[in-house]
């Protein structure tokens, strides 16, 4: 599967930069899952409509967890709402992210010639803030193996005579990670979560920024474009189908 994704990237990147190839692959994945994401939007809007009744049940049966569970399931069934359907698109797309992660971190991708310089990044195989000058000292224990990622990256550094920071911008300014955090926040805001959910998710952009500081830049590019597309899709769905026009179906 890793090789399959690499072949797709090579197809897109044969006449383009691999950074653009990742963007095209991301857009392709999002377009394929567009209908499913639309269903997710409708499911979340329906859940928001039954939320007041749900809160009433939680207050009424706060000391009766089993009764509360039964009442909640009855409420979902009465209004034909599936509380888990909104998670389905994310769960389906997670394996794609994991395979892409494995592909972009593989020795095969690192060894691809050219086309991996993107914007301010010398090579998207590296972490956005990776320092080439200190790479040997940080990874010398793992460089001895012929097929390790560290060995492949070290050979790449030697062959291209890289030095200094991977970023042409100041080392203290990890722009790509910050953009991922910003688009994560944008994507969350367009989901129309209630205030309690927003508070719970408030730290997610910060978490994503910290995570991206330890990922190869190619993965961060995927996350950035994926977040941006998701946010724009949500805005489109809100305009096309306002939440107050979605009927909560009631079974008879």
pLDDT grade for 244, boundaries at 50, 70 and 90: low
Q: Residue 92 and residue 23: Cα distance in Å, rounded?
A: 19
In a domain, 80, yes or no: no
178, 93: one domain: yes
pLDDT grade for 14, boundaries at 50, 70 and 90: low
pLDDT grade for 36, boundaries at 50, 70 and 90: confident
178, 213: one domain: yes
As a whole number, mean pLDDT of residues 139-159 equals 76
Cβ–Cβ under 8 Å, residues 145 and 45:
no
126, 192: one domain: yes
Largest Cα separation within the chain, whole Å, is 72
The pLDDT tens digits of the residues spanning 186-211 come to 887 777 665 666 666 778 888 888 88
Q: List the domain range (segments joined by +) for residue 160.
A: 132-164
Question: Residues 37-54, buried b or exposed e (16+ Cβ, 10 A)?
Answer: bbebbbbbbbbbebeeeb
In a domain, 72, yes or no: no
pLDDT grade for 33, boundaries at 50, 70 and 90: confident
42, 149: one domain: no
pTM score, whole prediction: 0.73
As a whole number, mean pLDDT of residues 88-105 equals 79
28, 99: one domain: yes
- Among 16-20, 41-45, 236-240, where is mean pLDDT lowest? 41-45
As a whole number, mean pLDDT of residues 159-178 equals 67
What are the residues whose beta carbons fall under 8 Å from the beta carbon of 123, sequence distance 6 or more? 116, 117, 156, 160, 162, 166, 217
220, 178: one domain: yes
**Domain termination site, one of 164, 181, 211:** 164
36, 148: one domain: no
- Among 30-44, 107-121, 161-175, 187-201, where is mean pLDDT lowest? 161-175
125, 28: one domain: yes
Cβ–Cβ under 8 Å, residues 213 and 171:
no
pLDDT grade for 217, boundaries at 50, 70 and 90: confident
Which pLDDT score, from 0 to 100, does residue 197 have? 63
> Within 10 Å of residue 198's Cβ, how many Cβ atoms?
13
Burial class (CB in 10 A: 0-12, 13-18, 19+), 131: middle
36, 145: one domain: no
Cβ–Cβ under 8 Å, residues 206 and 163:
no
In a domain, 182, yes or no: yes
In a domain, 59, yes or no: no
pLDDT grade for 251, boundaries at 50, 70 and 90: very low
| Number of domains into which the chain is organized | 2
In a domain, 137, yes or no: yes
The pLDDT tens digits of the residues spanning 48-78 come to 777 777 778 777 777 777 877 787 777 777 7
pLDDT grade for 241, boundaries at 50, 70 and 90: low
Average pLDDT over all residues of the chain: 76
As a whole number, mean pLDDT of residues 123-138 equals 73
Which pLDDT score, from 0 to 100, does residue 224 have? 92
As a whole number, mean pLDDT of residues 10-14 equals 72
143, 227: one domain: no
Which pLDDT score, from 0 to 100, does residue 250 have? 44
Q: Residue 82 and residue 45: Cα distance in Å, rounded?
A: 11
218, 111: one domain: yes
32, 124: one domain: yes
């Amino acid at each position: 599967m890793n090789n399959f994704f690499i072949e797709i990237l090579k197809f897109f990147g044969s006449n383009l930069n691999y950074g653009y190839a990742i963007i095209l692959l991301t857009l392709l994945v999002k377009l394929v899952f567009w209908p499913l994401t639309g269903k997710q939007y409708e499911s979340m809007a329906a859940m928001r409509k039954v939320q007041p009744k749900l809160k009433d049940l939680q207050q009424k049966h706060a000391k009766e967890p089993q009764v509360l569970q039964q009442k909640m399931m009855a409420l979902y069934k009465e209004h034909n709402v599936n509380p888990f359907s909104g998670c389905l698109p994310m769960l389906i797309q997670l394996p794609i992210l994991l395979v892409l992660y494995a592909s972009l971190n593989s020795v095969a991708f690192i060894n691809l010639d050219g086309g991996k310089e993107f914007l301010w990044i010398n090579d998207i195989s590296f972490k956005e803030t990776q320092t080439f000058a200190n790479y040997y000292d940080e990874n010398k224990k793992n460089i001895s193996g012929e097929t390790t990622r560290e060995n492949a990256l070290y050979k790449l550094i030697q062959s291209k005579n890289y030095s200094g920071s991977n970023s042409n911008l100041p080392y203290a300014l990890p722009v790509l990670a910050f953009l991922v955090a910003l688009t994560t926040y944008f994507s969350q805001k367009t989901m129309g979560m209630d205030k309690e959910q927003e508070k719970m998710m408030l730290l997610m952009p910060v978490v994503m920024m910290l995570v991206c500081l330890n990922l190869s830049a190619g993965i961060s590019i995927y996350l950035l474009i994926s977040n941006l597309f998701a946010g724009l899709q949500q805005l489109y769905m809100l305009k096309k189908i306002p939440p107050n026009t979605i009927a909560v179906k009631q079974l008879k």
